[in-house]
Structure 1
Amino acid sequence: MNKVKNWLALLFGKRIFKTGLSVFITATICELLNWPVLFAIIAAIVTIEPTVNASIQKGKIRLPAAAMGAGVAMFFDFALGQTPISYALAAVITILLCHKFRWDDAIIVATLTAVNMIAITENDFFVSFITRVGTTSVGIITSVIVNFFVLPPNFMGQISKAKINLMSDTKALVDKIISFQLDQKGNLEDLEKTLSSLQKRVSHTIKLIDYQKEEYRYHRFKKTEYKLLKNLQTKMNLLDKINHHVADLLYLTSEHQCIQKNDKDVLKKAWRDIALYFDWQQKNGEKTYEIHQNISALFYILHRQIDVEKTEDYMDKSSSIAYELLAIHSLICKKSFFKPTETS
C-alpha cells in the first residue's frame, strides 16, 4: 500500500495526491451518511495546506466561518426568499463578518457556503444548517487527518539542495557584478533580474525551513535532524544578509567612475579569495581556508579613503566595493557557516 502511495505521489505530486485522496474519502463518507457532498468537498480541497500545522490552524478558522456563512444564508433566505438581494446580502455580510473576526483565510469557504445554501435550501432551515455544518466538518477533519498520516510533508531534501544551489548562484552573480562594476561588462537589467530571482529563492527556502519546523511539532524526529535543520536555517539567514550586500554592490552610485588599475587588481584578487568560501563544502568538518593577504588590502583602500578630504558621507567607488566585499567576507566567514550540514 505504501509503495502505491509513493508511486502516485511521484506521479502527481504529494499535495495533489493528498487533495484527491481527501476528496475521495470525504465524498464516500457523505454518501454513506446520505449528505450532500458539495460543501464537504470544497472544505476538503481548501484545507490541504503545505504543513499539518497550517491545515489545523486554518481548519479551526474555516469551520466556524462556514457555520456563520450558513447561518447568514438561512436568515436572508427565510426573510427575503431566494432572490438576488438575498444572495448579495448573504455574500456581503459574510465577508464583513469574516473581516471583523479576522477570519480572512476562511472568506472563500464561508461565502461559497452562504450563497450555495440559498440556492439549494428548500424547507427545513434548521436541518439544512446542521447538515451543512456537518458536511463542512467532515471535509476539514478528513483533510487534516490525511495531511497528518499520508505522506507527511518533508522539505529537508529541497532545503539541502536549495542551499547548495543558492551558494553557487550567489557566487556566480557576484562574479558578474564585479565584472560589471570594474570592467563595465554585462547588462544592469539582466543582473537585476538575476538578483531578484535569487532573493525570491532564498526567501522561499527560508519559508520551507519554517514549514519543516512546524512539522516537527507533530511528528517524531531525531535530534540530529533538528540540529541539521537549525544549521541550515542559520546558513540561509546569513545568505539572506549576504544578498543584501550583493544588492548594494550592484546598485553602487558613481557607476561610471574611473577606478585605478591597482585598485581593480586588489578588488578582483580579494573577491577570488572570498569566492573560495562559496565553493567550499564541508564533508568531515576538517577542511578550512585561511584568509588571504589580499583581504587585508581591502582595509587599506578604506583607510586611504578616510585620509582623503571629501564631502561629508562621500565614498569613492573603490572604497564602496571594498566595503561591500568586506561585509560579505565577514558574514561568509562566521563559524556557524562552517558547521557540517550533512549527518554522518
Structure 2
Amino acid sequence: MRSFHFNGSRIVKTGIAIFLTAIICEWMNWPPVFAVITAIVTIEPTVSDSIKKGIIRFPASAIGSAFAVFFITLFGNSPITYTLAAVSTILVCYKLKLHAGLLVATLTAVAMVEVIHSNYLIAFFIRLGTTTTGLLVSTAVNLLVFPPDYRKDIAKNIQLVSERTGTVLDRLFRTILYEGHGERTEEKAVIQQLTEVIRRTETLIQFQRDESTLFSRLRGNNKDFRLAEEQLLFLHNLEYHLTTLLHIPLQHISWTTAERDRIMHAVTELAQNLKNSAGYNHDKQQQHLQTITDLFWIDHENAKKDNKAASTPFSQKFMILYELAAIYHAVNQFYYHSAAKYPDNELDKQ
C-alpha cells in the first residue's frame, strides 16, 4: 500500500478524529465544540507526543473550565469575564508549567463564557468529559490510522543527502584543483540545502526514537533505524568537512598537474561511492586514502622546510589534504562498520 505523505496523513487523521469526536459528543448530548478543539490539537507527529501532551492538556483544560465557571458566577456573561478567565488560565498554566495545554485551556475558558448560562457545576464536569473524549479519540486515531513511521522518510532523506554530498564534493574539488579562484557560490548553496535536509532528518529521527521507545515491544527489531542514526552522523561529519573546505583560501596552491589529477581521480571515485553505495570497494578506497595521506605528509615536510617564517604553520594545501583525508577516513569507517554490523541493510529494501 502506498504510504501517505507526512502532512497528508495528519490531515486525514485530524478529519477522522474530528468526525468521531463529534459523533460521540452528539450521542452523549454534549456540545462537541470543546472536544473537537482538543482533538484537533492532540494529533501530534508521534503517538508518544499525543499521550505526553494529552496528560498535560487535561489538567490545563480543567483549569480553564474552572476559571470560566468561577468568573461567570461572579460577573455573568460580560467582557470582564472573558478577560479574567483567559488571563487567569494563562497565568496558572504558565506557573504550573503546563505549556503544552495553555492554548487549549485558554480557548476552552473563553468559549465556555458564551455557552454556560446555568447549572455551572454540571457544565464544568461536561467540559471535562468533552476534553477527555477529544484526547482519547485523537490519540487512538493517531495510533491506529496511518501510525507514525518515519523510517522510509529518513532513508529517503539520507540517500538524497548522500547523493548530493557526492555531487558537491566533486564540484568543490574541481574548483579547488583546476579553477583556483572560483567563488564556490553554487557549492555553498548546495551545502546549505544539505544542512537543512540533515536538520529535518534529525527531527524525524527524534520522532522515530520516541515511537520506538514507546512501542519497543510492538515494533520489533529496529536495526535499520539504528543504522540510519549512524548514517546521519556520518553525513553530518561530511557536511562539517565540506563547509571547512569552503572557507580555505585558494591562493598559493602549487600542486603539479599530475598531483592535481591524482587527487581529482581519488575524489571522483569517492563521490561516485556516495552517489551509489552499492559500488563501494573498501580496498580500492583505502588505496586512494593512502595516496592522499602520502601527499599530505610530503606537503607537510616541504612546508616545514620552506615556510619556517610563515605567519601560519599550515599551508592551504596542508588544510585541503587534511580535510580530504578526514572525509575519506569517515566514509571508509562508515561503510566498513555498517557492513560488518548490518550486512542486510533493511533501509535499502524500503
Q: TM > 0.5 between the two?
A: yes
> Unaligned stretches of 5+ in structure 2?
none
* Structure 1 residues 55 and 11, CA gap change in structure 2 (3 angstroms): closer
Give 1:313 deviation, angstroms: 5.1
Q: Judge conservation of contact 1:49–1:55 (CA < 8 Å) in 2.
A: yes
Structure 1 residue 243 displacement after superposition? 0.8
Structure-1 residue corresponding to 2:144: 149
The answer as to whether partners of 1:82 and 1:119 remain within 8 angstroms in 2 is: yes
Match of 1:295 among 292, 297, 314: 292
Corresponding residue to 1:120 among 108, 115, 119: 115
How far off is 1:265 after superposition?
4.1
Q: Is 1:14 equivalent to 2:9 in the alignment? A: yes
- Check conservation: 1:282, 1:341, Cα contact below 8 A: no
The Cα offsets for residues 184-210 of structure 1, whole Å up to 9 and x where unpaired, read as 576544433322221121122232223
The answer as to whether partners of 2:43 and 2:50 remain within 8 angstroms in 1 is yes
Matched-pair contact (CA < 8 Å) for 1:277–1:289: no
1:315 aligned partner: 314
In structure 1, what residue type is equivalent to 2:282? T
Is 1:23 matched with 2:18?
yes
Match of 1:336 in 2: 337
SS in 2 for 1:152: coil
Measure how far apart 1:112 and its partner are: 0.8
Verify: 1:111 aligned to 2:106, yes or no.
Answer: yes
Q: Is 1:197 the counterpart of 2:193 in the alignment?
A: yes
Rounded to whole Å, the distance in 1 between the matches of 2:251 and 2:7 is 54
| Aligned counterparts of 1:275 and 1:300: Cα–Cα separation in 2 | 24
Is residue 130 of structure 1 aligned with residue 155 of structure 2?
A: no
How far did 1:320 drift? Answer: 1.8
2-structure distance, mates of 1:144, 1:287 = 47
What is the TM-score when the length of structure 2 is the normalising length?
0.85
The reply on whether 1:212 has 2:212 as its aligned counterpart is no
Instruction: Tell me how far apart the structure 1 counterparts of residues 315 and 112 of structure 2 sit (CA, whole Å).
Output: 68
Following superposition, the deviation at residue 115 of structure 1 comes to 1.1
Residue 3 (structure 1) aligns with: none
Alignment: residue pair count: 333
- Identity across matched positions, percent: 32
- Work out whether residues 94 and 114 of structure 1, in 8 Å CA contact, stay in contact via their aligned partners in 2: yes
Distance 1:90 1:109 in 2: 13
Aligned equivalents of 2:20 and 2:42: distance in 1? 14
Q: Given residue 254 of structure 2, which amino acid in structure 1 is its aligned partner?
A: Q
8 Å contact kept, 1:277–1:332 = no
Q: Compare 176-185 and 31-40 and name the one that shifted more.
A: 176-185
Question: Structure 1's 12 and 214: CA in aligned 2 closer, same or farther, altered over 3 A?
Answer: closer
Q: How does 1:45-84 map to 2 (within 5 A)?
A: 45-84=40-79
Q: 2:254 — aligned with what?
A: 260
Greater helix content: 2
The Cα shift of 1:72 comes to 2.0
TM-score scaled to structure 1, two decimals? 0.86
Segment of structure 1 superposing worse, 333-342 or 118-127: 333-342
Distance in 2 between the 1:230 and 1:27 partners?
Answer: 40
Contact 1:26 1:138 survives alignment (8 Å): yes
CA-based RMSD of the aligned residues comes to 2.7
Question: Contact (CA 8 Å) 1:273, 1:295: kept in 2 or not?
Answer: no
Taking the aligned partners of 2:311 and 2:66, their CA distance within structure 1 comes to 66
Gaps of 5+ in 1: 1-5
Change (3 A) 1:131 1:318: same
How many angstroms apart in 2 are the aligned matches of 1:214 and 1:268?
43
Residue 95 of structure 1: CA displacement? 2.1
